[in-house]
Amino acid sequence: MATFIEDGEREAIEAIRRTVRPGGDARSMRDDAAVLEGGLVISTDCVTFQRHMSEGMGWERFGWTAAAVNISDIASMGARPIGFLAAMALPEDMDSDDIAQIASGMDQCAEFAGTHVVGGDTKPGPGVIAGTALGDMEGRRPMTRDGMRPGDLIAVTGTLGGPAAGMLALENDIEAEGCVLALWVPIPRVEEGIALSSTGKVTSCIDLSDGLSTCLNTLCSESSCGVVVEWDLLPIADGVREVCDSVGHDLKAAVMDWGGEYELLFSFAKADIEALRATGIDFSVIGVAVEDGGVLLRRDEKYQEVGYGSY
């Protein structure tokens, strides 16, 4: 018998998928969020004090993060958020003011996303906040992970590597305010997701919460094709190179293998690029989908295979 950690999270999720009867739409549990009848989109995910609370972050930002990770999951489907809930298992010696700070952070993130904290629960426990975000497709087609086709362009919103560099900066006591904020205050790409899905031209989409390497592999696996990514096209955030240089951390690892980013990774047919540009959403094309071959990174004229990241 294998344990959770030996098998890995992906295998545990596969075991769960095999166990439960299929529900919702046919792609239930293969996307960032589930799509239900009537275009409802729902996702749940938890953050733990141990894994997601970093020194200096503060409870308000932790609350924001607990909301952001879930809102990001429905944003990547193109849904408009219509409610957020949190089930909290909190240490018995936790200060009540700190709990209110968490609630305040969740409320601010919900407000940023145009919605509200509508419910939740607290009980004594080991320091886990499980959030649930509910959204509405408003008639748009949900962006899933399985529609990427050979020849499609691959793109990301925003910039990459900020959260990883932020963590490195904190660990090594280096000044890198922008990167640290990217780590502490992840921005769910709600308006971007809505705008992208409203074009009807996006063939696949996923949020980068598991990191670029893993997410590229996931899109390839779900869409049954490969991708070639150009290193020189990756929109690396300001300060990331400097932080990696000063602490001797591999830049590629920071940009591709670290999770905790909430940009959207998506694909579309080359012919549709003008329709995508017309949304006004800021994005960077980083590669192209190919027939097969998994994920290849082209850097300095050489190709290297990219596996799932460690996050």
117 contributes a contact to a copy of itself by CB under 8 A: yes
Length of the chain: 311
Question: For a copy of itself, which is the closer residue by CB, 132 or 217?
Answer: 132
AA letter at 142: P
Question: For a copy of itself, which is the closer residue by CB, 118 or 278?
Answer: 118
114 contributes a contact to a copy of itself by CB under 8 A: no
With CB under 8 A as the contact rule, the residue among 79, 82, 176, 187 that binds a copy of itself is 82
For residue 281, the minimal CB distance to a copy of itself (Å) is 26
Question: For a copy of itself, which is the closer residue by CB, 113 or 154?
Answer: 113
Distance of CA 237 to the CA centre of its chain: 16
Q: How many other CB atoms sit within 10 Å of the CB of residue 284?
A: 15
9 contributes a contact to a copy of itself by CB under 8 A: yes
Measure the CA–CA gap between 192 and 188, rounded to whole angstroms.
9
Helix (H, G, I), strand (E, B) or coil at 134: strand
With CB under 8 A as the contact rule, the residue among 53, 57, 58, 122 that binds a copy of itself is 122
53 contributes a contact to a copy of itself by CB under 8 A: no
Report how far apart, in Å, the C-alpha atoms of 182 and of each of 185, 261, 306 are.
6, 8, 24
1 contributes a contact to a copy of itself by CB under 8 A: yes
125 contributes a contact to a copy of itself by CB under 8 A: yes
51 contributes a contact to a copy of itself by CB under 8 A: yes
For residue 59, the minimal CB distance to a copy of itself (Å) is 12
For residue 81, the minimal CB distance to a copy of itself (Å) is 11
For residue 187, the minimal CB distance to a copy of itself (Å) is 19
302 contributes a contact to a copy of itself by CB under 8 A: no
Q: What is the DSSP letter of 255?
A: I
Measure the CA–CA gap between 195 and 78, rounded to whole angstroms.
8
299 contributes a contact to a copy of itself by CB under 8 A: no
Q: Which residues, in sequence order, are CB contacts of 10 under 8 Å at separation 6+? A: 308
Q: Which residues, in sequence order, are CB contacts of 2 under 8 Å at separation 6+? A: none
For residue 42, the minimal CB distance to a copy of itself (Å) is 6
Write out the binding residues for a copy of itself, residues 194-213 only, by CB under 8 A: none
Measure the CA–CA gap between 253 and 65, rounded to whole angstroms.
23
Residue 268 tokens, joined: 């579309």
301 contributes a contact to a copy of itself by CB under 8 A: no
With CB under 8 A as the contact rule, the residue among 53, 57, 112, 127 that binds a copy of itself is 127
Label the pairing between strands 153-157 and 264-268. Answer: antiparallel
For residue 47, the minimal CB distance to a copy of itself (Å) is 9
110 contributes a contact to a copy of itself by CB under 8 A: yes
Distance of CA 139 to the CA centre of its chain: 23
Helix (H, G, I), strand (E, B) or coil at 179: helix
CB of 187 closer than 8 Å to CB of 205: no
Measure the CA–CA gap between 180 and 58, rounded to whole angstroms.
13
37 contributes a contact to a copy of itself by CB under 8 A: yes
Count, residues near a copy of itself per rule CB under 8 A = 76
43 contributes a contact to a copy of itself by CB under 8 A: yes
Measure the CA–CA gap between 157 and 81, rounded to whole angstroms.
19
